[in-house]
């Protein structure tokens, strides 16, 4: 039975030009023969958990995922866990308001120290813009500036930042463009640190769900937050933004994008990294804003996320010993989990199965047209 399972796995992997115990950097090295049964029966969850358990390794995990995602092996191995996730998303609406704060507690509140060692100096937890940048700090500043320029930010303008993180955009927009920014997040740790980082600036932080937003703003931005909204709530999300955005205002949506429409997350990512999350497709977003907004600009720079994630991975591992000594809860299994998260994500963008979109929307269309900025 074991040999048959191994043979079946090799047949699948050969489609992606990956060899079991091969010599190339993307070839998989198996340490536990139970791997085959586990992955073929559990799919993405089994693959990720068995890596965390040390059952297999790959020299270049990012390149391994580039190969298997290009070959669409993730779609060829469908398991009961995948079906369960899909049914749960359709029936239960995992992103409903009562569950809004779970992602903050599970992912963003696990410790600011981790993000301080991994991210750029501004703590920007979204894709950098590498067009004219040589390092992570400059790539993130370039992205923040790109957002400000795309929305035509001027001194004194009021901006709502939905999913503000630790306030990297709010701080930049206030310092460089003289904007007054209100940032909302579901993470207590982000609010606490964000207030310290933006002290003395016209920046407010609010611990709240996007469904509770009120007021009127000249501009609205949302950088890497709609991935936590869920397809059942996209329309509501767009209606709320439309309601708080002043006539003549602009809304910039920055999001990871999927080539196909899905209704649930990868089972491993759902369990260990981003609970109650999913990546939207272009058609899902377009349907959600139809009749509410005019799409002025759609910019894809997904290739830049590969580079951003590899920089985060480098920073994480360079500072791992210091983090581990200071925080014993970050053990070896956590290290493997976090590397798996970063490198599998990088492979997703490298294979062009994942995208990064910045979409500029207006309420009634810009008179004489919108000038696309790159």
pLDDT in tens, 362-372: 999 999 999 99
DSSP letter (8 states) at residue 275: T
What's the confidence (pLDDT) of residue 85?
46
272 touches 341 (CB < 8 A): yes
Report the pLDDT averaged over residues 67-89: 64
* Structural domains present in the chain: 2-78 (no CATH), 99-362 (3.40.50.150)
The shares of helix, strand and coil residues in the chain, as percent rounded to the nearest 5, are: 50, 15, 35
User: Around Cβ 370, how many Cβ atoms within 10 Å?
Assistant: 18
Over residues 253-283, the pLDDT tens digits come to 999 999 999 987 888 998 899 888 899 999 9
Q: What is the pLDDT of residues 92-110, one digit of tens each?
A: 555 555 555 554 454 555 6
The pLDDT value recorded for residue 276 is: 83
Residues 363 and 249: beta-carbon distance below 8 Å: yes
Which range among 28-37, 84-93, 354-363 shows the weakest confidence by mean pLDDT? 84-93
Longest CA–CA span in the chain (Å) reads 69
Sheet holding 245-258: strands in order across?
A: 203-207, 180-185, 158-162, 217-223, 245-258, 354-362, 294-300
218 membership: H or E segment, kind and range: strand 217-223
Output the average pLDDT for the chain. Answer: 91
Q: How many degrees, rounded to 5, is the angle at CA 268 between CA 266 and CA 270?
A: 65
């Amino acid at each position: 039975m074991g040999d048959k399972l191994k043979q079946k796995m090799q047949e699948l992997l050969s489609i992606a030009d990956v060899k079991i115990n091969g010599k190339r950097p993307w070839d998989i090295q198996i340490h536990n023969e139970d791997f085959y049964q586990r992955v073929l029966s559990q799919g993405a969850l089994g693959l990720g958990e068995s890596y965390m358990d040390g059952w297999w390794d790959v020299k270049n995990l990012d390149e391994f995922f580039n190969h298997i995602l290009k070959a669409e092996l993730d779609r060829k191995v469908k398991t009961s866990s995948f079906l369960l996730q899909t049914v749960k998303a359709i029936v239960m609406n995992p992103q409903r308001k009562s569950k809004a704060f779970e992602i903050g507690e599970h992912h963003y509140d696990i410790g600011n120290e981790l993000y301080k060692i991994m991210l750029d100096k501004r703590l920007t937890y979204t894709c950098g813009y590498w067009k004219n940048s040589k390092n992570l700090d400059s790539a993130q500043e370039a992205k923040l500036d790109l957002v400000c320029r795309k929305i035509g930010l001027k001194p004194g303008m009021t901006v709502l930042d939905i999913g503000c993180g630790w306030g990297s955009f709010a701080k930049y927009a206030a310092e460089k463009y003289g904007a007054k920014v209100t940032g909302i997040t579901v993470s207590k740790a982000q609010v606490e640190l964000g207030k310290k980082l933006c002290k003395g600036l016209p920046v407010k932080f609010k611990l709240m769900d996007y469904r509770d937003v009120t007021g009127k703003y000249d501009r609205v931005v949302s950088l890497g937050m709609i991935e936590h909204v869920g397809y059942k709530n996209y329309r509501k999300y767009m209606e709320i933004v439309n309601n708080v955005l002043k006539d003549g205002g602009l809304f910039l949506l920055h999001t990871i994008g999927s080539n196909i429409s899905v209704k649930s997350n990868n089972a491993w990512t759902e369990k260990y990294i981003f609970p109650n999350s999913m990546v939207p497709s272009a058609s899902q977003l377009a349907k959600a804003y139809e009749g509410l907004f005019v799409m002025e600009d759609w910019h894809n720079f997904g290739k830049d996320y590969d580079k951003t994630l590899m920089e985060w991975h480098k920073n994480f591992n360079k500072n791992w010993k210091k983090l581990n000594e200071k925080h014993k809860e970050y053990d070896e299994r956590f290290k493997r989990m976090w590397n798996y998260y970063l490198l599998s994500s990088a492979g997703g963008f490298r294979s062009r199965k994942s995208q990064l979109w910045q979409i500029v929307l207006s309420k009634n269309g810009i008179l004489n047209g919108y000038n696309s900025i790159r």
